[in-house]
Structure 1
């Protein structure tokens, strides 16, 4: 009998995931193992479409090298797993049951003796990993970390379409936030306008909260809104990511309440030029280090090396909290030698900080194309003066 829930809420047709699973099966075969066990929510989602707000509970996707995959989830999550995936074999562990023992029982039931297990998933603690290793008695385990991430770096046309939609949501949020920046408004007012506009445009839950800060607080990296009242002379930092079917696109802009100080204006000019040269350096066949080094050269020449101690960009794609980016997969940074390929997606935040005083900057999310890049926003990049 057919399952009326199967794939009802899936973000892509079954064929999209069949292709991904086939690539994972090939990877498992290349490792010389019988199965690849995925535990990270982004990797499981990429492989089969499984998504939920309950990913804090242990889950595992067992991708067998020569047989259909099997998904293990908490019992409460089985209905959502059936609706969000096209998988035919979904198993459950019960509240009160040790998920490590449940995984071991599944591996035994499938007759697996040699598996590759992800060891870098955020939601598998060191203690749980030790329990899993102890429970899998008689099973040879090798490290399967990084296999799925390597495949996720280049997006399919369906993924790129979702990211383009997410970019529109992010731009709607930034436009509304800029409009809400006025003396007497609070950071909460600005954030409410930002989130409301992004969600009204179509965004789903974002994998990380927006970054909205003003005055001296804007000089603190990754600060979020805290009811502060905007005043004349404040700088305001705005950044968020829109989300479509878990695929994210981020955008950042700067606002100043009245004329900015000369130093802030100079720093903003340098940030814009650094972003411009980084974007100009991006095309297929160029190493990921090249855009960063181009931006860093502009920043260093202007004397702002200490104001920029980070990478110029990171990969974007499918994301779950706590991060909207794929920075753990691929960075635009010194020493990263992987070549850019068509279908890769990056967020490039060019930010300069007077730490504890203010931050200025601008960003774009871009898709690497056959000949260069596609910038996903058309919002002016200069600082907005309110």
Structure 2
């Protein structure tokens, strides 16, 4: 037997935002739902549950959902063990908890009926990591059985998430300050005879000490030719003279991501390293001077890519030169599925969008040179929130 449980008494931990912020998000989501003729929306992504309700847990390896309607506060469907995170530290504090032996899809269908939308048009997030094919099959079968008109409704909450409010931006700015401390420790620790693991221990410790939570992706601290293996983390490899250091680090403040890439070298860098680095720096300059409200993501990409072409580097496979960042949970720290800086994208930048721009040169198995910043789109330009010095850091 399912029922809606409501948390009472003082919160066990404060919410990340004031009530007005959650009300703004809910109102905007409902407007987008109305535009698609939806009576309800079922969300599955942990980022979207957090965005709408402040439900926060790494326990999303079990099914979880949030049902949004036009006349009732959002209600989460959560494994009973994890439902305490809605009851004790969320905005709306409403949850249907299911036991491990119960079918959460049936709990979701029950909730639609309880909220009076089971005969209406119900959208579901159709592009997410967090709904298995089997669960989707059961949801569709149950909808047919109960007379629910179930339709795919991708990117509704993501559209709201794409433009950040000032409270959200403040968390991202805090992340930038944390990254400066962590990157400083990284290059102070690195050197001839030092292991990647030793640097990682110091960097991760600095992130936590200065205010970061766990990130959507681990810290990437590659040396030598190892970074040409995409998303290389750390190992027991010992640094030696001439090694290139490729450090990409993120900080997470109240689940909001800020990221930064910096380069170093054990001893004097080679001429080729410096040529590649200067090309990356020029690409970054072009991106930051082009991005502003009203331009397209494709125009920003073209500006950055032109610097590589001018320096004699072909962009090869046409990979993107950046991606949106905001709320994140593993397995990703980005919002590139919402908007990214890729060739020919006609998505228009808006003030309040936030990007991690990553103009880099990757040549397997030779080496990686990349330099990045996290920036906020403004009406007439950008605000860069990462401020650790660029250039090559020689250790």
SS at the partner of 1:260?
coil
1:229 Cα deviation from its structure 2 partner: 0.5
Match of 1:348 among 354, 357, 363: 357
Q: Tell me how far apart the structure 1 counterparts of residues 170 and 331 of structure 2 sit (CA, whole Å).
A: 23
Q: Tell me how far apart the structure 1 counterparts of residues 178 and 328 of structure 2 sit (CA, whole Å).
A: 16
Specify whether residues 44 and 340 from structure 1 end up closer, same or farther in structure 2 by C-alpha distance, changes over 3 A only.
same
Which residue does 2:139 correspond to in 1?
Answer: 132
Tell whether the 8 Å contact from 1:235 to 1:257 is kept in structure 2 after alignment. Answer: yes
Tell whether the 8 Å contact from 1:218 to 1:357 is kept in structure 2 after alignment. Answer: no
Q: Tell me how far apart the structure 1 counterparts of residues 394 and 363 of structure 2 sit (CA, whole Å).
A: 19
Which ranges in structure 1 are unaligned for 5 or more consecutive residues? none
Residues 1:71 and 2:76 are matched in the alignment: yes
Aligned counterparts, 1:180-329, within 5 A: 180-306=189-315, 309-329=318-338
Q: TM-score when scaled to structure 1? A: 0.96
Q: Tell me how far apart the structure 2 counterparts of residues 360 and 77 of structure 1 sit (CA, whole Å).
A: 42
RMSD: 1.6
Which residue does 2:348 correspond to in 1?
Answer: 339
After superposing the two structures, state which structure 1 stretch, 332-341 or 208-217, moved more: 332-341
Match of 1:142 among 151, 165, 168: 151
SS at the partner of 2:365?
coil
- List per-residue Cα deviations over 1:36-83 (Å, max 9, x = no partner): 111111111111111101111111111102332211111001211122
Q: Tell me how far apart the structure 2 counterparts of residues 151 and 215 of structure 1 sit (CA, whole Å).
A: 41
SS at the partner of 2:198?
helix
Tell whether the 8 Å contact from 1:351 to 1:361 is kept in structure 2 after alignment. Answer: yes
Q: How many residues align?
A: 386
Q: TM-score when scaled to structure 2? A: 0.94
SS at the partner of 1:62?
strand
Specify whether residues 49 and 88 from structure 1 end up closer, same or farther in structure 2 by C-alpha distance, changes over 3 A only.
closer
Which ranges in structure 2 are unaligned for 5 or more consecutive residues? 1-5
SS at the partner of 1:305?
coil
Q: Tell me how far apart the structure 2 counterparts of residues 344 and 73 of structure 1 sit (CA, whole Å).
A: 30
SS at the partner of 1:52?
coil
Residues 1:374 and 2:383 are matched in the alignment: yes
SS at the partner of 2:16?
coil
After superposing the two structures, state which structure 1 stretch, 298-307 or 320-329, moved more: 298-307
Residues 1:117 and 2:124 are matched in the alignment: yes
